[in-house]
Amino acid sequence: MIEALLTLWNELPLLLQLGFKIGAILLPLLGAVAYYTLAERKVIAYMHVRIGPNRVGPRGLLQPIADAVKLMFKEMIIPTHADRYLFLIAPILALAPALGAWAVVPFTDSLVLADIDASLLYVLALTSMGVYGVVIAGWASNSKYAFLGAMRSAAQIVAYEIAMGFALVGVLMAAGSLNLREIVLVQSGGIQQWFFLPLFPLFLVYLISGVAETNRSPFDVVEGESEIVAGFHVDYSGMGFAVFFLAEYANMILISALTVIMFLGGWHAPFAIAPFTWVPGIVWFLGKLAAVAFLFLWFRATFPRYRYDQIMRLGWKVFIPVTLVWITVIGVARFFTPIGHWFG
C-alpha cells in the first residue's frame, strides 16, 4: 500500500509534487491563522473575565469561518483618488512574504520544503519586505490617517529590523551556520543546549523585536485605533482587509516558529531521555510554537501601547547596544573561557 503510494508519488511531474508540498504547508497554515484569531479573542476575553465569541457553532468554534465568509462577500470599496493598482496590490505584498518565508522552515530533521544554505538570510530578507504592503497601502489610500500609519510603520520596522538582524548574528555565531536545520541540530541534547540560555539577552531582543515587526500590541502604533483610527488599513474593506489580517497573523506564527527554531531547540525534546524522546519531533515543534504564539496574545491583553518616541528609544538606544555587547560576549566566551563550548 505505502510502496504503491510512493511509486505513484514519484511518477507525478515535479511541478505537481512541488505544488502538493506547498499546499501541505500553506493549507494548515491558513487554518492555523483562522483559529489563531479565534484563540486571540477567546484568550483575551478570559483574561478580561469575559466569555468571548460563543454564538457560531459549539462554543464559538465556527466563528473564524463566519468571519471569513462575511469578509469575502462584503463589497471592497476603493476610495476616490486612491491609486487603484497600488491599493489593490498592497495586501498581496503584505501576505506574500509572510507565506514565502515558510519555504525554508524546518518542521523536523527531514520535513523542510527547501533546505537551502542561507535560509536564515532568506527569512530575514523576506520578512524585511513585509513593510512594503503597509507603506504602499498607507500611501495609495490617499488618506491622512493611513499615511500616518505608513510613516510610523516604515520608521518602526527599519529600527527593529537592525536589532533583529544583530540578534540573529549572535545565533549564527553560536551555531556556525546560516542553515535553519543545522541551527536546530546544533541545539540537540536537552534544554541546557538550547540557545535561549547562552544567548538570553538576544532571545529577549528577538522576541520583542518580533512583536514590533508584526505591529502587534504594545507596538501597534501603526494601527493605533485610538489615535489614527486603524492606521494603514483604515480604507480597506472586504477581502483587502481580510488579506491584511491574514498577513498579520501569518507573520506572528512565522516569528513564533523562528523563535522556536533559533532559541528553543526546534523539534528537540527538552530532555534527551526516554519518555520525552518517544514524542515525535513535530509535536515538540508545534507545541513550542503554540507556547510562543500564546505570548503574543498575552502581551496584547497585558501591556498598554508604547508611545512613538518610547518605541524609537527602545529600538535604537536599548536593543542595538544590548545585541552588540552580547555579540562581543559570545566571541570572547567562545575563545577565552572554559565554557566556550556552551556558546557553540
Partner 1 sequence: MTFLEIVFYVFSAVLIASSLLVVTVRNPVRAALFLVLAFFSAACLWLTLEAEFLAITLVLVYVGAVMVLFLFVIMMLDIDIAQMRAGFANYLPLGLIVALVMVGELTLVMLSGEFGDAELPRPVGQPADYSNTEALGRLVYTDYVFAFELAAVILLVAIIAAISLTLRRRPETRYQAPEEQVKVRKEDRIRIVRMPSRPGEDP
Residues 295-314 that bind partner 1 (CB under 8 A): 309-310, 313
The answer to the question of residue 320 lying near partner 1 (CB under 8 A) is no
Segment near partner 1 (CB under 8 A); pick from 73-81, 122-130, 236-244, 257-265? 122-130
Number of residues that bind partner 1 (CB under 8 A): 29
Rule CB under 8 A: say whether 161 interacts with partner 1.
yes
CB nearer to partner 1: give 44 or 121.
121
Alpha helices in the chain (DSSP H): 2-11, 14-47, 63-73, 84-100, 119-140, 144-175, 180-186, 200-213, 225-228, 238-263, 274-277, 281-302, 308-312, 320-336
The answer to whether 139 contacts partner 1 (rule: CB under 8 A) is yes
Whole-number CA gyration radius for the chain: 21
Q: Which of 39, 95, 103, 135 binds partner 1 (CB under 8 A)?
A: 135
Locate cell 529590523: which residue? 161
By CB under 8 A, name the one of 29, 33, 131, 254 that touches partner 1. Answer: 131
Q: Cα–chain-centroid distance for residue 87?
A: 24
Other CB atoms within a 10 A radius of the CB of residue 77 amount to: 12
235 interacts with partner 1 by CB under 8 A: no
Q: Is residue 327 a contact point for partner 1 (CB under 8 A)?
A: no
154 binds partner 1 (CB under 8 A): yes
Shortest Cβ distance from residue 156 to partner 1 (Å)?
11
* 116 contact partners, CB below 8 Å, separation of at least 6: 104, 122, 179
The minimum distance between CB 128 and partner 1, in angstroms, equals: 3
List of long-range contacts for 204-207, beta carbons under 8 Å, 24+ apart: 205/163, 205/164, 205/166, 205/167, 205/319, 205/322, 205/323, 206/164, 206/167, 206/168, 206/259, 206/262, 206/263, 207/259, 207/292, 207/295
Which residues lie below 8 Å from residue 30, measured CB to CB, with a gap of 6+?
246, 250
| C-beta neighbour count of 175 within 10 angstroms | 20
78 binds partner 1 (CB under 8 A): no
- Nearest distance, CB of residue 90 and partner 1, angstroms: 11
Binding of partner 1 at residue 118 (CB under 8 A)?
Answer: yes
Based on the shown chain and the rule CB under 8 A, indicate whether residue 322 belongs to the binding site for partner 1: no
Stretch that binds partner 1, among 19-27, 110-118, 275-283, 291-299 (CB under 8 A): 110-118
- Name the site residues for partner 1 (rule: CB under 8 A): 83, 86, 116-118, 121-122, 124-126, 128-129, 131-132, 135-136, 139, 147, 150-151, 154-155, 157-158, 161, 178, 309-310, 313
